[in-house]
Amino acid sequence: MGLSILSTFFDNGVVRYMQLAELLRQRIARGELVVGDRLPSLEELTKEFGVSRITVRQAMELLSREGLVLPQRGRGTYVTGRPVRTQWLKVQTSLADLARSYHDTRPEIVNIDESMARAPLVADDGIPAERYVFMRRIHSRDDQPYCIINIYLDERIFRRHPERFRTETVITILMAMKRGGVFKARQVLTIGAADMEIAPLLHIPISAPVAHVRRVFTDVANRVIYLGQVTYRGDFVHLDMDLMPTATSS
């Protein structure tokens, strides 16, 4: 059963040795393989993953260039390092914390589209605004893109500060508004895989894990003033939530 799962995993257009390298890289990141551990032999890896010997060698060469493993002639390949942790982006569960996170990270914003568009709302979202300004942008940190956002912003609100909305994070501006701003907010997070459009923009392989977040903000009249569809690189996301213990009677 393991081989059939892996063959499906590999059958997605991504070079096989890169996928194998990523799988081993994640095992090292999770601590399943630690510095000093000897990796399985070439034969064992080809059997486990159902790939050719050259695929395994290419994966090992890639990990070796990253300083994660070191082949030693006659002894095998050993783990020599751990991947640099990039999971600095915490998924926030309150609007105030979300706005604060954008202040703290100070993303580099690149607008790649702006137009008028109908927001893809559902009945539970709220009352649609008359018109929406659509903005598609990429957020980066240290020249590394970490998310793509499709924003649908009530045109009336956009016209108040058009240049600021084009160059700053929309949420921080909305939070600072004293009139007609956010009254209710909610978000839904789902896990998915990068497609042919998303992958090159985020500098990740096709089918790499991503987190999709859908945010809906409504005003006091239950009008949807903001819809945000965000796709985060999976390796940049850290989800940490407090779980309240069940109350027990004395």
pLDDT digits (tens, 9 = 90+) for 154-176: 999 999 999 999 998 898 899 88
Backbone φ and ψ of 209, nearest 5°: -65, 140
Q: Where residue 38 sits, what CATH number does that domain have? A: 1.10.10.10
Residues 99 and 204 in one domain: yes
248 within a domain of the structure (yes/no): no
pLDDT digits (tens, 9 = 90+) for 197-247: 888 899 888 878 899 999 999 999 999 999 999 999 988 877 666 676 766
pLDDT digits (tens, 9 = 90+) for 9-53: 445 445 788 888 888 987 887 788 899 999 999 999 999 888 899
Domain that holds residue 72: 2-79
Entry pTM: 0.68
Residues 211 and 106 in one domain: yes
Residues 93 and 198 in one domain: yes
Pick the residue with more confidence: 104 or 218?
218
* Distance, CA of 46 to CA of 58 (rounded, Å): 12
**Contacts of range 240-243, beta carbons closer than 8 Å, 24 or more positions apart:** 240/90, 240/91, 241/93
Those residues with Cβ within 8 angstroms of residue 53's Cβ, 6 or more apart along the chain or in another chain: 42, 46
pLDDT value at residue 5: 40
142 within a domain of the structure (yes/no): yes
